[in-house]
Amino acid sequence: MIWKNDVKTTVMLTFDFDAETLWISRNKDNYKKPGTLSQGVFGAKVGIPSILELLRKHDIKSTFFIPGLVAEKYPDRVEQILADGHEIGHHGYLHEWVDPDDPEKEREIFIKGLASLENITGQKPVGFRSPAWETSDHMFDLLIEHDFLYSSNMMDSIDPYRVVKNNKETDLIEIPVQWMLDDAPFFLFNVTGPSRPIFPAQHVMNVWKEEFHAIYNRGCLFNLVCHPQIIGRPSRIDMLDNFIRYMKSYPNVEFATGSKVAKYVREYY
Ligand SMILES: [Zn+2]
C-alpha cells in the first residue's frame, strides 16, 4: 500500500494514439496499403472523440502517448486532447521498434519525436512509453539526460518506483505496465501474420475486473493501456464505460495521469 490521504488504489487510464504508425512500424510495406492503414485512421477519426466523450462524462484525466508523426498528422486531435485537460506523453516518432544494438538511431528517433511533440503542443512531454515496450539498455539514460519525470515501460512491479542506475536511486520514476492490462493482446487482429480470434468485450472486462479487484485489495497501481483504434469500437467503448463504473463503485479509488502518479512517488519515496 503506497498511497496516502485515504486513497486505496490509484487508476491510470492511458491511451496509446498510434494511428497508422502502428501498422507501418510492423511492416514498412503497409504504408502502401490504405485498407490496412484505415484501421489506424479509425483511431483518429472515431476512437479519440469517443474516448474524450467518455472521459468527460466520468470527469477523468488521462495520459495519451503519441508518436511525433501522429501529432503532426492529427494536430486537431492533439488540440482536443489538451483542451480537455489530459496529458500527452512521448511515444517515439514513427512508432519505431528500438534496435538495442543501434543506440545512435534510438537517440535520433527519441529527439525527433520529442521535438515534434514540443512543436505541436507547445510543451515538453514528461513521460515516455516506448512503442510496443521494445526498449534498450540506453532508454533510462536517455530519459534522465532529457530530464523526463517518468517511464512507463517495465513489467517488473505492480507499483511505481524510482529507477536505479549504478546502484543509486534516480529521480526518474517507472510506472509499470503489463500485457494483461492492455487491449491489444485481446482485440488486435492481424490478417497477414499469426493471429488469434478476437475476444468478446465481456471476456476482457472480466480479466480486467479480476485484476482490478486483486490490485485494489493490495493497494497497488492499476495502469490500463488502451489504443483508440482498438478500444474505440462501439461495444468496447460501452465496456470501458461499464468498467469505469465498476472501479468507481469501490471506495477511495483515485484516477490520475502518469505525471500525477510520478510526482507523487517523487514526493513521498
Ligand atoms: Zn503504441
Fill in the DSSP letter of residue 132: G
What separation in Å is there between the alpha carbon of 25 and the centre of ligand 1? 10
Asked if the model's pLDDT at residue 145 lies above 90, the reply is yes
What separation in Å is there between the alpha carbon of 219 and the centre of ligand 1? 28
Helix then strand then coil, in percent of the chain rounded to 5, is 50, 15, 35
What separation in Å is there between the alpha carbon of 4 and the centre of ligand 1? 32
On whether residue 111 sits in a domain, the answer given is yes
Distance CA 48, CA 228 (A): 6
pLDDT (0 to 100) of residue 17: 98
CATH number at residue 128: 3.20.20.370
What separation in Å is there between the alpha carbon of 55 and the centre of ligand 1? 20
- What are the CA-CA distances from residue 120 to residues 73, 77, 90, 151, 231 (Å)? 10, 11, 12, 21, 25
Strand pairing class (161-165; 221-226): unpaired
What separation in Å is there between the alpha carbon of 169 and the centre of ligand 1? 28
Distance CA 234, CA 226 (A): 14
What DSSP element (H or E) covers 96? none
Asked if the model's pLDDT at residue 161 lies above 80, the reply is yes
pLDDT (0 to 100) of residue 134: 87
What separation in Å is there between the alpha carbon of 168 and the centre of ligand 1? 30
User: Residue 233: how many CA atoms within 13 Å on its side-chain side?
Assistant: 14
Cβ-Cβ contacts under 8 Å for 191 (sequence gap 6 or more) = none
What separation in Å is there between the alpha carbon of 92 and the centre of ligand 1? 9
Asked if the model's pLDDT at residue 1 lies above 80, the reply is no
Please give the distance of CA 263 from its chain centroid, rounded to a whole number.
Answer: 17
On whether residue 222 sits in a domain, the answer given is yes
What separation in Å is there between the alpha carbon of 252 and the centre of ligand 1? 31
On whether residue 221 sits in a domain, the answer given is yes
On whether residue 254 sits in a domain, the answer given is yes
Provide the domain count of the chain: 1
pLDDT (0 to 100) of residue 268: 92
What separation in Å is there between the alpha carbon of 263 and the centre of ligand 1? 24
What separation in Å is there between the alpha carbon of 218 and the centre of ligand 1? 29
What separation in Å is there between the alpha carbon of 113 and the centre of ligand 1? 13
Asked if the model's pLDDT at residue 189 lies above 80, the reply is yes
CB contact at 8 A, 61 and 86: yes
Cβ-Cβ contacts under 8 Å for 73 (sequence gap 6 or more) = 19, 20, 44
Phi/psi of residue 101, nearest 5 degrees: -90, 5
Q: What is the largest CA-CA distance in the chain?
A: 53
Q: Which of 131, 147, 133, 132 is nearest to 92 (CA)?
A: 131
On whether residue 31 sits in a domain, the answer given is yes
Return the C-alpha cell found at 57: 462524462
On whether residue 2 sits in a domain, the answer given is no
What separation in Å is there between the alpha carbon of 268 and the centre of ligand 1? 30
What separation in Å is there between the alpha carbon of 140 and the centre of ligand 1? 18
Average pLDDT of 28-53?
96
What separation in Å is there between the alpha carbon of 91 and the centre of ligand 1? 7
Determine the structural domain holding residue 261 and report its residue range: 9-268
What separation in Å is there between the alpha carbon of 94 and the centre of ligand 1? 10
What separation in Å is there between the alpha carbon of 266 and the centre of ligand 1? 26
What separation in Å is there between the alpha carbon of 81 and the centre of ligand 1? 17
On whether residue 4 sits in a domain, the answer given is no
pLDDT (0 to 100) of residue 50: 98
pLDDT (0 to 100) of residue 196: 86
Which of 192 and 180 is assigned the larger pLDDT? Answer: 180
Q: Which of 40, 80, 85 is nearest to 62 (CA)?
A: 85
pLDDT (0 to 100) of residue 79: 98
Q: Which of 102, 55, 107, 105 is nearest to 80 (CA)?
A: 55
On whether residue 175 sits in a domain, the answer given is yes
Task: Please name the residue that has the C-alpha cell 493497494.
Answer: 219
Average pLDDT, whole number, for the chain? Answer: 96
| pLDDT tens, position by position, 215-261 | 999 999 999 999 999 999 999 999 999 999 999 999 999 999 999 99
pLDDT band of residue 192 (cuts 50, 70, 90) is: confident
| pLDDT tens, position by position, 55-108 | 999 999 999 999 999 999 999 999 999 999 999 999 999 999 989 999 999 999
What separation in Å is there between the alpha carbon of 79 and the centre of ligand 1? 19
| pLDDT tens, position by position, 109-132 | 999 999 999 999 999 999 999 998
